[in-house]
Homo-oligomer: A and B are copies of this chain.
Amino acid sequence: MTSNSFGRLFRFTTWGESHGPAIGCVIDGVPPLIPLTEADIQIYLDKRKPGQSRFTTQRKEPDTVRILSGVFEGKTTGTSISLVIENQDQRSKDYGDIKDKFRPGHADYTYEKKYGIRDYRGGGRSSARETAMRVAAGAIAHKIISSRAKTNIKIRGALVQIGPHKINRDNWNWEETQRNPFWSPDQDAASKWATFLNDVRKSGSSAGAIIEIVATDVPIGLGEPIYGKIDSDLASAMMSINAVKAVEIGDGFNIVSTPGNEASDEMRIINGEPRFLTNTAGGILGGITTGEPIVVRFAVKPTSSILSPRKSIDRFGSEVEVITKGRHDPCVGIRAVPVGEAMMACVLADHILRFKAQCDT
Contact = CB atoms under 8 A, between A and B. Distances in A.
B32 A220 contact: no
Contact of A360 (B80, B237, B360): B360
Interface in A180-220: 200, 203-210, 220
Number of copies: 4
A91 interface: no
A96 interface: no
Contact of A113 (B6, B221, B319): B221
Interface residues of A, number: 156
A235 interface: yes
Contacts of A338: none
B357 A9 contact: yes
Interface stretch (A41-49, A57-65, A171-179, A247-255): A247-255
Which has the most chain B C-beta neighbours within 10 Å: A14, A21, A256, A288? A256
A245 interface: yes
A245 B281 CA distance: 8
A229 interface: yes
Which has the most chain B C-beta neighbours within 10 Å: A33, A80, A148, A266? A80
A285 B253 contact: no
Contacts of A279: none
B26 A227 contact: no
Contacts of A282: 245
Contacts of A317: 269, 274
Nearest to A244: B231
Contacts of A84: 68, 84
A92 interface: no
Nearest to A20: B69
A236 interface: yes
B1 A258 contact: no
Contact of A268 (B207, B240, B319): B319
Contacts of A357: 9, 29, 353-354, 356-357
A163 to B, nearest CB: 6
A200 B259 CA distance: 8
A341 interface: no
Contact of A289 (B110, B148, B231): B110
